[in-house]
Structure 1
């Protein structure tokens, strides 16, 4: 994964790096959650957008997931988020955005309850090779009254479709924003 910052964590007793400290002028924070199917790029997006070293809970996938996790379309995936990802973006001198990425597999969805609580909104990250993987996330956000945008992660080998066709396939109401992004790149990743 290409992260904004891949410096090693400070050693014991060294404390946080200056760039990881919250600006003293920050007065307000908001929370945005990044959701979507398994392997769609949520961890990558949090890492590429975050100004601090992201907190990730990536673990190596084991044989215990065989038959439980659907690896269709992500057969080469070797790690998975088992709790959440966390990052931060300072929007201006007074406003800070906290990013929370959720796990994609259904067996970890119980974790979404706490992560979604208090969220200003969400980004539903979508892979056009596996559109059906985003429906459960959109349903859950709609049921919880959490506003969201849909971001099409432009994987190099993914089919490209006109926005009108994607809106129809996803059954998106007109008020839900639909954008394209490359979750690996800071300039494209921040769709909020």
Structure 2
């Protein structure tokens, strides 16, 4: 019996392959609370088709997941997001977006393995959600930068006030970011790479 395939088998696109010039690959994690825009950022900046693990939110999550401020959200990441962006002919970043709901945070340890740094995505309407996230990064000793995602109805605060509210050290960079915009998301990643470079070139003070 003949078998007809309704859809053609689609193989990798040419842009899915790494250029031969790439000599350095860096793993970066995109972290943050529930509904801050991690999946959106990875999708907007990735040069390959991003891998997402979004599932429809169901009644099973009622009373378990805190949806205050994101009541209209209908899907959530349950494992990770994955994308890739080339910052130059030699340097490529592999992006791993973490799930935001605390019941999936047990996956974070595996996603953090091998990462050189993190972008913490923040919703200024729900700063409290960032405290545990930043705490976990500090406990692990993973360098990070903070990106304030631009939500249309979010109030605008001076960076100094946000830094004080999150008790961030002065040397941790903070930037504004629109996770929907490729250039803005790329700038946030470049900020992280510059920060990592600064950390590697700064000579620690010797004890006297």
For 1:34-113, list aligned pairs within 5 A: 34-113=30-109
Given the superposition, is the C-alpha separation of residues 186 and 92 from structure 1 closer, same or farther in structure 2, using an over 3 Å criterion?
same
Any idea what SS the aligned residue of 2:127 has?
helix
Alpha-carbon distance between aligned partners in 2 of 1:92 and 1:124, rounded to the nearest angstrom: 23
How is 1:124-163 mapped onto 2 (pairs within 5 angstroms)? 124-163=120-159
Mapped to 2, the partners of 1:135 and 1:52 lie a distance apart of 32
Q: Which sections of structure 1, spanning at least 5 residues, go unmatched?
A: 1-9
Q: Which has the higher helix share?
A: 2
TM-score of the superposition, structure 1-length normalised? 0.93
1:89-127 deviation digits (Å, cap 9, x = unpaired)? 011111110001000000000110110111110000000
* Deviation of 1:56 (Å): 0.3
Separation in 2, partners of 1:11, 1:113: 38
Cross-structure match for 2:3 = none
Is 1:116 the counterpart of 2:112? The answer is: yes
1:3 aligns with none
- Secondary structure of the residue aligned to 1:179 is strand
TM-score (norm 2): 0.86
Q: 1:177 aligns with which of 173, 176, 199?
A: 173
Offset at 1:11? 4.5
Q: Deviations over 1:48-92 (max 9, x none)?
A: 010111100000001110110001000000000000000000111
The secondary structure found in structure 2 opposite 1:87 is strand
What is the root-mean-square deviation of aligned Cα atoms in Å?
1.0
Counterpart mapping for 1:13-28 below 5 A: 14-28=10-24
- In our comparison, the structure showing a higher alpha carbon Rg is 2
Distance in 1 between residues matched to 2:163 and 2:88, nearest whole Å: 32
What SS does the aligned partner of 1:140 have?
helix
Partners of 2:86 and 2:183 in 1: CA distance: 15
